[in-house]
Amino acid sequence: MGIQTADVLTPLRAAFHGTLIANMGYTPAEAAEAIGSGSVDAVAFGRAFLANPDLPERIRLGANLNAPNDKTFYGGGAEGYTDYPFLTDAQREAARDNATEGVR
């Protein structure tokens, strides 16, 4: 779960009138809820973006996300930075089919 709204973001939102971008532990669904409720203007993703080079597309399609591997954080090499897989064509099609099932 992202930072608890009641703990941190509510007083911040009241005191700060600029664009408020939250971060830390949000799932895409939690981010949408936080933005929809007006408690924040945007949410930044860290680990989810590291593990998913196509994160915006995955969120748009409701596709599964690759899980980040914390053993390869801060490693200094390519492993864990540039080797997480993009959606395959088959996964992309399956996600599209799931997303449109409800509107058929």
Ligand X SMILES: Cc1cc2nc3c(=O)[nH]c(=O)nc-3n(C[C@H](O)[C@H](O)[C@H](O)COP(=O)(O)O)c2cc1C
Name the site residues for ligand X (rule: CB under 6 A). 23-25, 45-48, 50, 73-74
Beta carbon of residue 31, minimum distance to ligand X (angstroms, whole number): 9
**For residue 52, which of 82, 13, 7 has the smallest C-alpha distance?**
82
Rounded Cα distance between 1 and 67, Å, is 15
Residues 41 and 35 sit within 8 Å (Cβ to Cβ): yes
The residue (of 81 and 92) whose beta carbon lies closer to ligand X is 81
The residue (of 22 and 61) whose beta carbon lies closer to ligand X is 22
Beta carbon of residue 27, minimum distance to ligand X (angstroms, whole number): 9
Residue at shortest CB range from ligand X:
46
Beta carbon of residue 32, minimum distance to ligand X (angstroms, whole number): 14
Rounded Cα distance between 52 and 35, Å, is 21
The residue (of 28 and 57) whose beta carbon lies closer to ligand X is 28
Neighbours of 61 (CB within 10 A): 19
